[in-house]
């Protein structure tokens, strides 16, 4: 049985039909990348999975449980956004521990979880700083740290590297992949960058205009693109 199952998911905003029936089965531990041109519905699909938007029709199952109508906070998923969305007036430690504090987790447990995340992300020496005292790459790592401390079943990344310069993007990409493996996580990663998609993904999902064009390993997409759209998109320089 699939770990995360999208069963004919559709989403409309008013009269605008944005996600037009997406079926997808994701296994535990997979690193899935959604790619496709701007406006094809990548972020919307991720937000539907996260519970940040309501699903118009279809079903979403996580680990055998129907979570279609489960509130975002109870889905056991954590999302990392492209804009860092850190609390500017709080220290790195407080930014990373905020969700745990809200959940009533004890101080000792919070400290050990934040310390672990900080060590993993090379942030230990920055825990007392505020976001404005950090570089872009460090801020993005804090955003990832906030997701890690919650030890979610599924990580959702929406273009997490797009605000970083090229060198940092490469490093952070490698770090994200290592973390995914180390935590035994299941990850869905949205990007419009084909290189990111092809280097990170176990399987790539190519989206176009609210529908899946093709799902496959990077090699399968290179070797046997289903159509001209996929071939052009995968072959396009980023
Ligand atoms: P992508 O992330 O692939 O660039 P999005 O998921 O952000 O695409 O958007 C897909 C389409 O849905 C776009 O046409 C966008 O304008 C529309 N859309 C997204 N969010 C909303 C919203 N809250 N209200 C109305 N339209 C939206
Ligand atoms: Mg987007």
Q: What is the pLDDT of residues 183-226, one digit of tens each?
A: 889 999 999 888 889 999 999 999 999 999 999 999 999 999 99
Q: What is the pLDDT of residues 113-172, one digit of tens each?
A: 999 989 888 899 999 999 999 988 889 889 989 988 888 889 999 998 887 788 778 888
CA of 40 from ligand 2 middle (Å) equals: 8
Distance CA 71, CA 67 (A): 8
Closest residue by Cα to atom 22, ligand 1, is 13
CA of 156 from ligand 2 middle (Å) equals: 12
The answer, yes or no, to whether any atom of ligand 1 lies below 6 A from the CB of 43, is yes
Give the 3-state secondary structure of residue 164.
Answer: coil
Q: Give CB contacts under 8 A, 24+ apart, made by 169-176.
A: 171/137, 172/137, 172/140, 172/141, 173/199, 173/200, 175/121, 175/141, 175/144, 176/144, 176/200
């Amino acid at each position: 049985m699939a770990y995360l199952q999208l069963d004919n998911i559709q989403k409309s905003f008013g009269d605008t039909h944005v996600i037009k029936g997406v079926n997808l089965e994701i296994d535990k531990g997979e690193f899935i990348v959604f790619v496709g041109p701007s406006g094809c519905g990548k972020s919307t699909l991720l937000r539907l999975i996260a519970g940040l938007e309501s699903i118009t029709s279809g079903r979403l199952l996580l680990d055998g449980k129907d979570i279609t109508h489960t509130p975002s906070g109870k889905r056991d998923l954590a999302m990392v956004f492209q804009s860092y969305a850190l609390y500017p007036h709080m220290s790195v430690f407080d930014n990373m521990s905020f969700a745990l504090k809200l959940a009533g987790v004890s101080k000792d447990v919070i400290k050990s979880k934040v310390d672990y995340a900080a060590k993993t992300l090379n942030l230990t020496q920055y825990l007392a700083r505020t976001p404005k005292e950090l570089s872009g790459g460090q801020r993005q790592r804090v955003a990832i740290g906030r997701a890690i401390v919650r030890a979610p079943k599924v990580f959702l990344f929406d273009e997490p590297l797009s605000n970083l310069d090229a060198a940092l993007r490469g490093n952070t990409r490698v770090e994200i992949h290592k973390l995914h493996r180390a935590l035994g996580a299941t990850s869905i990663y949205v990007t419009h960058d084909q290189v990111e998609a092809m280097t990170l993904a176990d399987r790539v999902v190519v989206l176009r205009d609210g529908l899946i064009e093709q799902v496959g390993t990077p090699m399968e997409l290179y070797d046997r693109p289903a159509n001209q759209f996929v071939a052009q998109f995968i072959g396009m320089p980023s």
